[in-house]
A and B are shown apart, each in its own frame.
Chain A
């Protein structure tokens, strides 16, 4: 490979790694302060799945839109959300992305096109589809990407949304992040037929299947899919199997799987894999270690910000409901 190309590849790899390490560091930090009782609500962690948001969002522009899931910290960070505001949201503080009104499941940052995490499985699909339809109407050249899990493919909006995007040839990238579990249940128990990718193909949507733990592979496939969308060739579908290292929620002790299974899957950690791939390309260990150090320092600052951010006033509970009519 020519040197210039190699350098580009290394630069991309380091960028992907940086995003993935920041996601991991954010969630590990959040888990730690949750254990201390500093975060009131529930957390759905995406540890082990970081390559998917990192690889997809690296191909998107700031103005493009994404819709996310209840397990959405990674998508927000990869799209460019501020981790201090995100952490403050987990704390339920005024400095949070949603001023403490949403919490982990509703993090959104419209300034970077992040149209919201979503507490309803499959709830983001139509939002991403509609955002793509608006982009066509406004002619602003934006595309949208929609993240959802393996559980969403059994919901009606999956069929409705994919069909809709196909018939209007909307610029939307569907990303099925199959982490092996729909809450406590394996998709093999609940999904008939050959699965998500074949369902997308059956609707005539170009479909890419990649190892969701290989950040380079995710990025490459996503970039090709995104290019299709930008060229006006309609929707694309990316199926990226990965593995949810943690439970469904932070409280889930995962009695439905063996410790041996988790041990084996940990050996396939996407961050470790990318580290190795970059080391093989001659990237110095110190350069990569610095990313971890930087991320940990960023999250320490995020926690410090969250802890000192004011708690909302009771009156804030009554604001931003709607313009017409005061809350009774």
Chain B
């Protein structure tokens, strides 16, 4: 085991894959200078200008040139800088990348990784802070990953690069600098497997990405009040691990979903509906109000999902359903 930051773990995963497979390359703005958050530091020096390609600010072309290069036999890693800028390439992502395999009758594959640092960080306001996973999960053809730990950041990056599907890698910018233990040697994630971040017996709390540590904080507070909370880190949003969620909820009899994105039509709504259809249980959701992300810290706090907000919902969940199934 080695202790490292999420960003370093991701870097390690990408570098290992680039050394393993000469068809893997990366493109995006400022990559030759190490990337905007330093996540490509040293890559240009090791892999050179053909495999670490600094691009113009041309998001549509990052996406569609990446697709063309994938269709022509390479395995590109696309850096979108931040998730919000992917919106400049949404036609290319939704109408082209996600659909080529299907609409061409299976003769094409688009093996590409699309990296999107997402979420609230550093008071970045409305156009640099969004969590848009619900949009992405909605699009058939895309895999959507959202790691929350250092080990998963590395293992999921490697799995994403080896996948023949287009894989969205949502990277939790706010917790990139936090550290965690990463197993030594080769680790490749199994796409679609959730993780029990903390076991519990009274209520299941489903979450992912930057909300995982907040959920764990809320769970610790809840446990001290006698509400034993099981935290499930979903890790993969499409496909998502229904069985792990069903198993947990069947045991606890209660479910809460917490995510940083706007609550209305967020991915929590899909999980909630699925639990309701499958187990007939009510599910409570925690998410942002339906407002753009504001700038001032006092306003941003209104948007943020905090441990206290989650705790209040956990209490509500227990009050709503005193008896377990």
**A contact set with B: CB distance below 8 Å:** 65, 67, 96-102, 106, 108-111, 115-116, 118-120, 123, 125-138, 140, 142, 144, 156-157, 160-161, 163-164, 167-168, 319-327
Contacts and interface: CB of A to CB of B under 8 A. Distances in A.
Interface string B79-106: 0000000000001100110001111111
A111 B73 CA distance: 13
Interface stretch (B37-45, B54-62, B285-293): B54-62
Contact of B96 (A120, A142, A320): A120
A189 to B, nearest CB: 24
A130 B108 contact: no
A133 B68 contact: yes
Nearest to A107: B104
B68 A99 contact: no
A258 to B, nearest CB: 35
B72 interface: yes
A327 B140 contact: yes
Contact of B74 (A100, A134, A325): A134
B60 A130 contact: no
Given A136-B50, A321-B140, A102 B105 contact: yes
A88 to B, nearest CB: 11
Residue among B60, B105, B141, B164 with most chain A CB within 10 A? B105
B249 to A, nearest CB: 18
16 contacts: A98-B103, A100-B105, A102-B105, A115-B68, A116-B104, A123-B92, A133-B53, A134-B68, A137-B69, A137-B74, A144-B72, A156-B60, A160-B60, A323-B165, A324-B165, A324-B239
B95 A322 contact: no
A133 B58 contact: no
B51 A119 contact: no
A275 B218 CA distance: 80
B69 A98 contact: no
B71 interface: yes
B298 interface: no
A138 to B, nearest CB: 6
Given A126-B65, A138-B74, 10 more contacts: A109-B107, A110-B71, A125-B64, A126-B68, A129-B64, A134-B74, A323-B165, A324-B165, A324-B191, A324-B238
B74 A157 contact: no
B68 A129 contact: yes
A320 B106 contact: yes
Of the four ranges (under 10, 10 to 19, 20 to 34, 35 or more), the interface on chain B belongs to 35 or more
Contacts of A157: 60-61, 64, 92
Given A65-B72, A108-B108, A126 B56 contact: no
Interface string B181-207: 000000000011000000000000000
Contact of A126 (B61, B72, B104, B105): B61
B151 interface: no
Contacts of B50: 136-137
B107 to A, nearest CB: 5
Contacts of A322: 101, 140-143, 165-166
Nearest to B106: A320
B164 A323 contact: yes
B95 A129 contact: no
B321 interface: no
Contacts of B107: 97-98, 108-111
A325 B238 contact: yes
A97 B105 contact: yes
B124 interface: no
A205 B254 CA distance: 63
Given A138-B74, A325-B192, A319 B68 contact: no
Contacts of B74: 134, 137-138
B164 to A, nearest CB: 6
B163 A323 contact: yes
A135 B73 CA distance: 9
Residue among B63, B72, B140 with most chain A CB within 10 A? B72
B67 interface: yes
A131 B142 CA distance: 21
A325 B143 contact: yes
A134 B143 contact: no
Contacts of B191: 324
A123 B67 CA distance: 11
B39 to A, nearest CB: 21
